[in-house]
Amino acid sequence: MDERQRFSEAVLPYVDDALSLARWLTGNAADAEDVVQEACLRAFGAIASVQNANARAWLLAIVRNTAFSWMAKNRPKAITTTDDAGIFEQAGLEMAEPQASPEAILIRKADAAQLENAIAALPLAYREVLVLREIEDLSYREISKVLSIPVGTVMSRLARARSSLIQRIGMAGEGKAGAA
Amino acid sequence: MIKPSSWSSREESLILLNAYLDDELDAASALDVERRLAADPALRAEHDRIAELRSTLASHLSAQRASDDFKRRIAAIAEPSRDVVVALPPRPSRTYDWRQMAAAAAVAAAITAGGMYGVLRQNSGVNEIAAIVADHQRALLAAQPFDIASSDRHTVKPWFDSKLALSPQVVDLAGAGFPLAGGRVEIVDGKPVPVLVYQRRAHIISVVAVPRAGQMSSTAPALQTTKDGYSVIRWFGRDFEYFAVSDLPELELREFVSRWREVTPGG
């Protein structure tokens, strides 16, 4: 099979997925196109190494790494979120009180903009796990490969990311209800 | 990183609950989580919230859709290049034997002054590219990368006429996704030359038009090089030699140049 054929089977079908991931990592659509284009160039350079069975996760891993080097180059401030992540990590994973369960209703009422803001506010290390799971629909094992982290870390980051989203959306929803 | 041994039972419950909702647990662990859920209303409430979050995310967050234009650009990565772009040698290669070089120079000098000019021009081309890239960088640092801002070529062309008494082709490529942003004047080789400024998303493309009076337009392949991370593509049009400079990905700059040359077959 020639390289062009491989590229059209292993990369082209997943350009939308690649854009979604890049969009969530960089925060906007124009930058996402830059990142994906560069990632696809890299992917084409490495096309001989891919097996079609895991092509999608393979491409997403390249997009993710390209996004990180792109951000390191273009906005070095955004990438220094390791401290945030550390604080986030230490904060511990707490469950809301049982009586706070009306939050489930607030979550249901959240609109797309609220969700986007809440996700964008997550530290990068948590955001990428959440996006790979909820939007790209990867399994824990695939996420662990894409990010080169152990499955246990995927699990704890995902749990924290979701707890944090629930809290943020809950608070935003309460604020809204209070103002109304 | 959190080690399993440091998980509180609460944390462990939550992490397992997430894995349960993601359908990642084996049958025995899933049963265990179901038992915990039945016995623990707080965990049950958490279960509902996470399930609600997942379904809300799924219904509200749509995946990005690549535009047709973008898909074409990506597909083009694997295509054999539409117009041949030849890498521009950055400087005369050291692999040439000096005797060959000397012989070539002697022959060139012996035949015509024009031949000699040809030998020298190689070097001046390299210097020119350095100057053009430096100017592009300076322009990006300025408040505006142009002296006249206009997306209308009928404004930009007369402006050059009035400033420099010469004007290059001003091509409208807005339809191809490269809108005109304006123009500026640059000094190359001690002479003022017109520069057209185009835009691509957040990127700026400078097209430097160096006057080469009497030069015929050429269908010769464009020459490409990079300098300080900027791509430079150089080609010949009627009466001008053009240099396109940008931090755009090479592929897009090539597309820009090939669109430009399509629009100006004679110029």
Range of the domain at B137: 72-263
| Whether residues B158 and B227 fall in one domain | yes
Residue B167 to chain A, least CA–CA distance (Å): 33
- The confidence band for B146, taking pLDDT boundaries of 50, 70 and 90, is confident
Phi, psi of B91, deg, nearest 5: -155, 160
The tally of domains found in chain B comes to 2
- Say if residue B137 is in the same domain as residue B158: yes
The answer to whether the beta carbons of residues A24 and A64 sit under 8 Å apart is: no
Q: Distance between CA atoms of B86 and A92, rounded to whole angstroms?
A: 58
Helix locations, B77-174, DSSP H: 98-111, 113-141, 153-164
Q: Is residue B67 part of a domain?
A: no
Domain identity same for B182 and B203: yes
B53 and B81 both lie in a single domain: no
Q: Quick check: is B2 in a domain?
A: no
Contact check, Cβ <8 Å, A33/B201: yes
Looking at the fold, whether B135 and B21 belong to one and the same domain comes out as no
Gap from A20 CA to chain B (nearest CA, Å): 5
**Cβ-defined contact of B251 to A103 (cutoff 8 Å):** no
Range with the poorest average pLDDT among A6-20, A31-45, B47-61, B160-174: B160-174
In terms of domains, do B164 and B104 share one? yes
B223-227 and B86-87 beta bridge pairing: parallel
- Yes or no: say if B148 and B182 are a contact pair by the CB < 8 Å rule: yes
- Give the residue from A135, A175, A99 showing the smallest Cα distance to B46: A99
CB contact under 8 A, B56 and A19: no
E-strand ranges in chain B read: 86-87, 148-149, 180-188, 191-200, 203-211, 223-227, 230-237, 240-246
Q: What is the pLDDT of residue B5?
A: 38
Residue with tokens 């002054």: B113
- B contact test, residue of A89, A95, A135, A166 with most B CBs within 10 A: A95
The stretch B229-240 carries a mean pLDDT of 85
Under a CB-based contact definition with an 8 Å cutoff, are residues A100 and A142 in contact? Answer: no
CB B203 within 8 A of CB B189: no
Which pLDDT score, from 0 to 100, does residue B137 have? Answer: 82
| One domain for residues B104 and B126 | yes
Q: Do β-strands B203-211 and B240-246 pair in parallel, antiparallel, or remain unpaired?
A: antiparallel
> Which one is predicted more confidently, B56 or B82?
B56
Cβ atoms of B49 and A104 within 8 Å: the answer is yes
**Domains in chain A, please, with CATH?**
3-78 (1.10.1740), 81-179 (1.10.10.10)
B243 SS3 class: strand
Burial grade of B47 (CB within 10 A; 0-12, 13-18, 19 or more): buried
Closest CB from B7, B48, B75 relative to A12? B75
Pair (B88, B220) in one structural domain: yes
Residues B210 and B259 both lie in one domain: yes
Between positions 183 and 242 of B, the ones with CB within 8 A of A are 201-202
- Mean predicted lDDT score pLDDT of chain B: 77
Q: Is B253 exposed, middle or buried (0-12, 13-18, 19+ CB in 10 A)?
A: buried
Maximum CA pair distance of chain A?
62
Same domain, yes or no, for B95 and B202?
A: yes
Q: A82-90 vs A151-179: helix axis angle to the nearest 10?
A: 80
Report how many Cβ contacts below 8 Å link chain A to chain B.
142
**Residue A76, min C-alpha distance to chain B (Å):** 18
Pairing of strands B148-149, B203-211: unpaired
Rounded distance between C-alpha atoms, residue A110 and residue A35, angstroms: 30
Coil vs helix vs strand at B39? helix
Mutate to test the interface with B, among A8, A21, A33, A59 (most CBs of B within 10 A): A33
CATH code, B148: 3.30.200.100
Cβ–Cβ < 8 Å for A71, A25: yes
Specify whether the CB–CB gap between B145 and B139 falls below 8 A: yes
Do B55 and B158 fall within a single domain?
A: no
Go through chain A and tell me how many residues it has.
180
Q: pLDDT at position A54, please?
A: 87
Q: Is residue B3 part of a domain?
A: no
**Same-domain check for residues B27 and B125:** no
User: Which of A106-122 are b and which e, b meaning 16 or more Cβ less than 10 Å from the residue's Cβ?
Assistant: bbeebeeebbeebbeeb
User: Which pLDDT tens digit goes with each residue over B179-191?
Assistant: 998 888 888 777 8
Q: Hey, are the CB atoms on B74 and A37 less than 8 Å from each other?
A: yes
Q: Which residues of chain A have pLDDT under 70?
A: 1, 77-106, 171-180
Would you state the pLDDT for residue B114?
A: 40
Alpha helices in chain A (DSSP H): 3-10, 15-26, 29-45, 55-74, 76-79, 82-90, 103-109, 112-120, 124-134, 140-147, 151-179
Tell me which chain B residues have a C-beta less than 8 angstroms from the C-beta of A140. 19, 22, 24
Rounded Cα gap, residues B60 and B47, in angstroms: 20
List helix spans (H) across B61-112: 68-76, 98-111
Q: Which of A152, A111, A130, A169 is nearest to B49 (CA)?
A: A169
Angle between helix axes A151-179 and B41-60 (nearest 10 degrees) is: 80
More confident residue, B234 or B97: B234
Q: Is B61 on the interface with A (CB under 8 A)?
A: yes
**Residue B66 located in a structural domain:** no
Calculate mean pLDDT across residues B96-120.
48
Count of CB atoms within 10 A of residue A78's CB? 13
Nearest CA in chain A to B1: A153
Among the ranges given (A31-40, A127-136, B161-170, B193-202), the one the predictor scored with the smallest mean pLDDT: B161-170
User: Is residue B65 one of the residues assigned to a domain?
Assistant: no
